[in-house]
């Protein structure tokens, strides 16, 4: 389809912020100009959506690797890039390069490093990194143990209006661990840590966020105890959001049986009671963001003894179908799902996008929620280490547009 000033998407099921309804969508010069019942200009290019779902493009919050083709296949138009890069995103020049490298197909919104080299000691030059394009500041894969450093971080970030993105595991308990304490870890003889390590980290960071008034985003919350703390903090008016990945919703620690390194994740998979608590937190609105946690590793890092393998999985290409399982199983509605995938991530980054609304960028995803797919890691655009390899799912991205331009 040629790029035109006016494009009319007709015969669509529109995924709006609070409902799904049939209708059309008009794009003018890369911006949404009409939603629902629209008058189609005579000179507009028409695109018949064939009754499929038209939704805002996914905003993937907290990826560790930029894989443009994997994102395109997964319906992702924007990513929040974690600071754990080479070099670390603690310098304005590095942040600026990271922000520009994916355009025009994929917009990258860097999360600047909170401390120099992500070492947890000296604060990085956050203000300069913001001027270079950073949209948030984060601790990366690590939890900062020094509460004094964290207090300064929240104060500084609060003055800048930045969200602080934290990894929530107390390293005093989790150092060297690769699994969660429990029957599976014991049976396999894996170094493990108690699940309470997450709640301890969450409690500290919530208190500091509340005292400073700064915004806090807990990138992954995976235990019932930690989710209870988040609920209580929200009731008190603390500016906190939290996220999770599909893996922690669909898998328990049983998935690491047979030393399956593709299920070696950070934070590690939890027991089934915690997994079910996470599903309940999706249903009641405690969890705000669903992201891929995209962190692919090749065989040289995964085909090792479990304790020596790298934590992480390829998640960009499977985010949509694994997320749609939540709708299929009745844990949330489709419009609520895209709040998790697009609306809330955009809001956390301070971006006016992620919705099908007049005046917003025409970042669009056309998908078939009933298309049968079998996940095949060896066909991934990135390294295909996924614990879902071979799983039959439903849901496929059909077309993707960035600012009205077909990708």
Q: Is residue 241 part of a domain?
A: yes
Q: Is residue 402 part of a domain?
A: no
Q: Is residue 85 part of a domain?
A: yes
pLDDT digits (tens, 9 = 90+) for 76-120: 999 999 999 999 999 999 999 999 998 889 999 999 999 999 999
Give the other-Cβ count within 10 Å of 142's Cβ. 17
Tell me the two tokens of residue 237: 């008016």
| Owning domain of residue 212 | 58-354+371-392
pLDDT digits (tens, 9 = 90+) for 381-406: 988 899 999 999 999 999 999 999 99
> With contact defined as beta carbons under 8 Å apart, do 198 and 180 qualify?
no
pLDDT at 21: 96
pLDDT digits (tens, 9 = 90+) for 208-229: 999 999 999 999 999 999 999 9
pLDDT at 325: 98
Distance (Å, rounded) from C-alpha 57 to C-alpha 397? 10
pLDDT at 38: 87
> With contact defined as beta carbons under 8 Å apart, do 282 and 325 qualify?
no
pLDDT at 385: 92
Q: Assess whether pLDDT exceeds 60 at residue 2.
A: no
Distance (Å, rounded) from C-alpha 220 to C-alpha 280? 15
Q: Is residue 245 part of a domain?
A: yes
Q: Is residue 323 part of a domain?
A: yes
Confidence of residue 3 (pLDDT cuts 50, 70, 90): very low
Confidence of residue 1 (pLDDT cuts 50, 70, 90): very low
Q: Assess whether pLDDT exceeds 70 at residue 132.
A: yes
CATH number for the domain that contains residue 68: 3.20.20.140
Q: Is residue 301 part of a domain?
A: yes
The distance between the two most distant Cα atoms of the chain, rounded to a whole number of Å, is 69
Q: Assess whether pLDDT exceeds 50 at residue 58.
A: yes
Mean pLDDT, range 229-254, rounded to an integer: 98
pLDDT at 42: 85
Domain count, the chain: 1
Please report how many Cα atoms fall inside a 13 Å half-sphere around the Cα of residue 283, on the Cβ side: 13
Distance (Å, rounded) from C-alpha 197 to C-alpha 324? 30
pLDDT at 282: 98
Mean pLDDT, range 23-51, rounded to an integer: 93
Identify the weakest region by mean pLDDT among 51-60, 141-150, 300-309, 377-386.
377-386
Q: Is residue 111 part of a domain?
A: yes
Q: Assess whether pLDDT exceeds 90 at residue 233.
A: yes
Q: Assess whether pLDDT exceeds 90 at residue 192.
A: yes
pLDDT at 238: 98
Q: Is residue 30 part of a domain?
A: no
């Amino acid at each position: 389809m040629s790029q035109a000033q006016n494009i009319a998407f007709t015969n669509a099921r529109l995924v709006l912020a609070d409902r799904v309804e049939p209708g059309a969508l008009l794009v003018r010069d890369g911006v949404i100009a009409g939603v629902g019942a629209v008058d189609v200009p005579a000179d507009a290019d028409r695109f018949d959506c064939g009754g499929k779902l038209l939704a805002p493009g996914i905003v993937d919050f907290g990826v560790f690797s930029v894989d443009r083709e994997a994102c395109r296949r997964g319906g992702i138009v924007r990513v929040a890039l974690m600071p754990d890069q080479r070099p670390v995103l603690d310098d304005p020049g590095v942040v600026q390069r990271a922000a520009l490298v994916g355009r025009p197909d994929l917009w990258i919104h860097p999360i600047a490093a909170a401390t120099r080299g992500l070492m947890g000691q000296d604060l990085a030059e956050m203000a300069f990194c913001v001027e270079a394009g950073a949209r948030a500041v984060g601790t990366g894969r690590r939890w900062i143990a020094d509460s004094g450093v964290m207090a300064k971080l929240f104060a500084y970030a609060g003055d800048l209006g930045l969200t602080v993105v934290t990894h929530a595991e107390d390293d005093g308990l989790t150092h060297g661990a690769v699994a969660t304490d429990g029957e599976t870890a014991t049976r396999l003889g894996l170094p493990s840590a108690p699940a309470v390590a997450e709640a301890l980290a969450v409690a500290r960071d919530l208190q500091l966020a509340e005292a400073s008034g700064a915004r806090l985003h807990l990138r992954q919350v995976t235990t019932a105890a930690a989710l209870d703390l988040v609920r209580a903090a929200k009731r008190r008016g603390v500016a906190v959001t939290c996220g999770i990945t599909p893996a922690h919703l669909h898998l328990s620690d049983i998935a690491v049986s047979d030393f399956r390194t593709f299920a070696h994740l950070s934070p590690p998979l939890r027991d089934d009671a915690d997994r079910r608590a996470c599903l309940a937190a999706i249903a009641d609105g405690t969890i705000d963001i669903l992201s891929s946690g995209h962190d692919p590793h090749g065989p040289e890092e995964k085909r090792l003894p479990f304790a020596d393998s790298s934590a992480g999985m390829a998640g960009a290409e499977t985010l949509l179908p694994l997320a749609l399982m939540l709708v299929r199983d009745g844990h949330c509605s489709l419009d609520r799902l895209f709040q998790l995938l697009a609306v809330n991530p955009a809001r956390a980054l301070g971006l006016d996008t992620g919705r099908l609304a007049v005046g917003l960028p025409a970042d669009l995803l056309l998908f078939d929620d009933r298309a049968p797919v079998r996940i095949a890691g060896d066909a991934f655009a990135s390294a295909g280490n996924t614990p879902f390899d071979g799983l039959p799912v439903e849901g496929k991205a059909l077309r993707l547009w960035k600012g009205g331009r077909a990708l």
